[in-house]
Amino acid sequence: MRTLFLLCCLSLVACATTASVPVPASAGSSALHEVKRVKVAENVELEVLDFGGRGPALVFLPGLGDTGHVFDTFAPEFTAAHHVYSVTRRGFGSSSWPEQGYDTATLGEDVVRVLDGLGLAKASFVGHSAAGPELTWVATHHPERVEKVVYLDVRTDGDLLAELLTVLPMPPPSEPAPEDVASRAAVAAAAARHVGGALPEHEIDETSEFDPNTGRYLRDHEWPHAEERVMKGFLKVDFAAVRAPVLFFSAGEPPPRPQRAEDIPGFPQMTPPQQETLRTLVPRKLERDAEMERVLSMPNWKGVKLEHARHYLWLTHHDEVLREMMTFLGTSS
């Protein structure tokens, strides 16, 4: 059953069971970045994209369902003053697909192991969406490894979502329109409409699998349970405990929050345990929002709300995001 807590984080693409192959990376990939693999655990390696550059390290972390390639057109804009990297988390794209290790703490520890593997004592980080919890975990458990933090419209209530998923099943993904999965070009066009801007070429290649004969989209290129495991593994993290300088972007006005569990669509049809869980979660969600407003007033935090922006705000509001980040990252701590 769908709820307002789930709608913003679920994959919109259906799965299939036909044999498939990923689309090969297009020409020019090697000119864009060097692809590395860093071991973070036994039999687990993460894809790390090295964009090069001069200066202190800057590491990009993608949102749920994305790979490090989602920043292919944005990350290179920072190489004049930073050595830039982007990381694909376990379970997605060309990183390893283990069956365990999708909780926030393990994902955060993966990031620390990437720093170790690259020989980096510390770095500044840019995290999008579901990267918020794991980045905050790193910043609060390994503060000596974190120079600065940029949050791009991140999830701040992942632990509440994980608690909700203990009593509510994952809703099925929406069926895409047939014309949106007819080819790689159709998938890219549909994705651009959905996020508000064109995704990088390699991101389409790394997140989708296509029929080798017809070119038709088949499924997402990820371990089938990865997204669910990440969501169910969200832990509560303490944003207020981040001591590094923080730049916090939010996209536009959030939808109206239900003030009571009874206001959530489908509530009367839920089981008593589900209803009771929602009665507990709704006020906690409202308090979490108020808590984040207090955090944004802390002296090491700067909040930037981009009106009319969408979730992939560096695509919809590129110039504003770039300008704010350049200024923030260029300022001495």
97 falls within a domain: yes
Residues 86 and 91: their CA atoms lie apart, in Å, by: 16
Torsional sign, CA 83, 141, 128, 166: positive
Residues 277 and 274: their CA atoms lie apart, in Å, by: 5
* Maximum Cα interatomic distance, the chain, rounded to a whole number of Å: 58
Both tokens assigned to 42: 């036994």
Supply the angle between the helices 131-141 and 104-118 in degrees, to the nearest 10.
70
The three state secondary structure string of 192-253 is HHHHCCCCCHHHHHHHEEECCCCCCEEEECECCCHHHHHHHCCCCCCHHHCCCCEEEEEECC
- Is the per-residue pLDDT at 9 higher than 80? no
Give how many domains the chain has, as a whole number: 1
pLDDT-based confidence at residue 238 (cuts at 50, 70, 90): very high
The predicted structure's pLDDT at residue 29:
54
pLDDT-based confidence at residue 2 (cuts at 50, 70, 90): very low
- Who contacts 100 (Cβ-Cβ below 8 Å, separation ≥6)? none
The predicted structure's pLDDT at residue 27:
41
pLDDT-based confidence at residue 3 (cuts at 50, 70, 90): very low
- Is 163 strand, coil or helix? helix
- Residue at token pair 């300088």: 245
Task: Give the domain CATH number at 317.
Answer: 3.40.50.1820
251 falls within a domain: yes
Q: Residue 122 in contact with residue 145, Cβ under 8 Å?
A: yes
11 falls within a domain: no
- Is the per-residue pLDDT at 18 higher than 70? no
- Is the per-residue pLDDT at 26 higher than 80? no
Work out the average pLDDT over 107-113: 99
Q: Which of 90, 86, 126, 128 has its CA nearest to residue 109?
A: 90
- Is the per-residue pLDDT at 6 higher than 60? no
16 falls within a domain: no
13 falls within a domain: no
- Is the per-residue pLDDT at 262 higher than 80? yes
Structural domain range at position 108: 21-330
Q: How many CB atoms lie within 10 A of CB 99?
A: 10
Segment 43-100, tens digit of pLDDT = 999 999 999 999 999 999 999 999 999 999 999 999 999 999 999 999 999 999 999 9
- Chain-centre distance of CA 259, in angstroms? 27
pLDDT-based confidence at residue 8 (cuts at 50, 70, 90): very low
pTM: 0.91
Work out the average pLDDT over 94-122: 99
Q: How far is CA 8 from CA 98, 154, 173, 212, 310, in A?
A: 25, 11, 12, 32, 12
State the average pLDDT for the chain: 91
1 falls within a domain: no
- Is the per-residue pLDDT at 1 higher than 90? no
Segment 306-333, tens digit of pLDDT = 999 999 999 999 999 999 999 999 976 6
- Is the per-residue pLDDT at 235 higher than 80? yes
151 versus 173: the higher-pLDDT residue is 151
